[in-house]
Chain A
Amino acid sequence: MGSACLVKRAIGPLYHRANNLKNHWCSCSHSRARAADRNSSEAETMVLAPRTIPARVDLRNRDNSTPTAPMAPVEVAATADFGDADLVARLKAGDGRAYEDVIRELGGRMLATAVRMLSNEDDAKEAVQDAFLSAFRNIQNFDEKSKFGTWLHRILINACLMKLRTRRRKPASSLNELAERVNDGNHSELPIASWREKNPEELDEETRSRVREEIQHLSDEHRTIIMLRDIEELNTEETAAVLGISTSAVKTRLHRARLALRERLSKYFIENQARGMEDATP
């Protein structure tokens, strides 16, 4: 049995649908690179975080089990791919220095993504470790149809999802029920209080922080779908493949997640508006 078969057997059934995943993932600042990538590949079999990831080194701070505070977005370089062909050749040749170069070059961006998805720095570090170890372990299967960074980030997304599945889930809030009602009936069942948020381009730091906080307070299911579709900018099919659900389920879940977030933000903006009016009253 060839090594590729062994890898496929090692990958849990949860991820088999991901073989249909189009060969692209990139952060939202990489849209052009992503589009170029999309043209260059069709059927690369994705190497995902297998169940047989080599043992990671424990970095967890046992005294700090509280969730990480919502993290401000880490600014990401628009072109994180660096000398792909040469780098991949060195990795495939087992050049230890190349491993470290990759970790130092892409690790920061990966950690930021993982923290956004997992809301916990310890979990995020473990996911990043898992992703790198999985990628290095399976580097021979990387056929270079996509950029190395793109491939690596997809592995990270899967490592994060695996973490979310194994840890205790944050239950969906009652807002989930609210969203259900919207889907079943008329929008007018919902209070559509008028709120005038500031232009998103001009949000102050307090508001940004509050928005990040509200996102982190969503259920894992809702936060994940928003992260994948609105932040990491996977398309519907890619998201469906990664999550192992249908495209219509992706749309429904995304809609409900956005509604849940809208409800949360709505409360904040209405309060803020009222406070502003009070302050303006002589």
Chain B
Amino acid sequence: MTCGKGDQHGEGHISCKEICQFLCDYVDHELPAAQRESFLQHMRDCPPCAEYLRQYESTIKACKKCMCPGHAKPPPPPDDLVNAIMKAIGKNCSK
């Protein structure tokens, strides 16, 4: 799927190439207001870029949803780990 216009979105308009450069800043809310408006205008005019953005955002959301911890209490650390650290501390203290 291509937009067919390449970078030909008119003078003064943000190009598809620039969209790629701004994507990261946009989703991280770090895009300056003026560029953000141009970015959104491009998205309204260019369905492939809009789809691309949607997939980019979906990727981040899926990643967070599958990897981010929630709010419940984590399981305690295994005893072998606790014992190993305590043993190492003991060794260190006895030096």
Contact = CB atoms under 8 A, between A and B. Distances in A.
- Bind each other: yes
Contacts of B2: 188, 192
A-side interface size class: 35 or more
A54 B92 contact: yes
B67 interface: yes
B62 A231 contact: no
A282 to B, nearest CB: 29
Contacts of B83: 57
A54 B65 contact: no
Contacts of A111: 77-78, 81
B65 A201 contact: yes
Nearest to B81: A125
Given A107-B81, A251-B25, A215 B72 contact: no
Nearest to B87: A57
Given A100-B82, A107-B77, A192-B55, A73 B66 contact: yes
B26 to A, nearest CB: 11
Interface residues of B, number: 56
Contacts of A185: 17
B58 A200 contact: yes
B34 interface: no
Contacts of A136: 89
Nearest to B17: A186
Given A75-B69, A193-B1, A262 B91 contact: no
Interface string A5-21: 00000000000000000
A154 interface: no
* B interface, over-half SS: helix
Interface in B47-61: 48-49, 51-52, 55-56, 58-61
Contact of A133 (B77, B82, B85): B85
A103 interface: yes
A208 to B, nearest CB: 5
A243 interface: no
A230 B58 CA distance: 13
Contacts, number: 194
B44 interface: no
B64 A28 contact: yes
A74 B68 CA distance: 8
Contacts of B86: 96, 99-100, 103
Contacts of B56: 258-259, 262
A192 B1 contact: yes
B23 interface: yes
A226 interface: yes
Contacts of B73: 75-77
A107 B52 CA distance: 40
A116 interface: yes
Nearest to B77: A107
A56 B90 CA distance: 11
Contact of A231 (B21, B63, B81, B84): B63
B11 interface: no
Contacts of B40: none
Contact of A182 (B1, B20, B76): B20
B88 A200 contact: no
Given A186-B17, A187-B16, A211 B62 contact: yes
A236 B83 CA distance: 37
Q: Which 6 A-B pairs have the closest CB atoms?
A: A107-B77, A75-B72, A76-B69, A57-B84, A188-B2, A108-B74
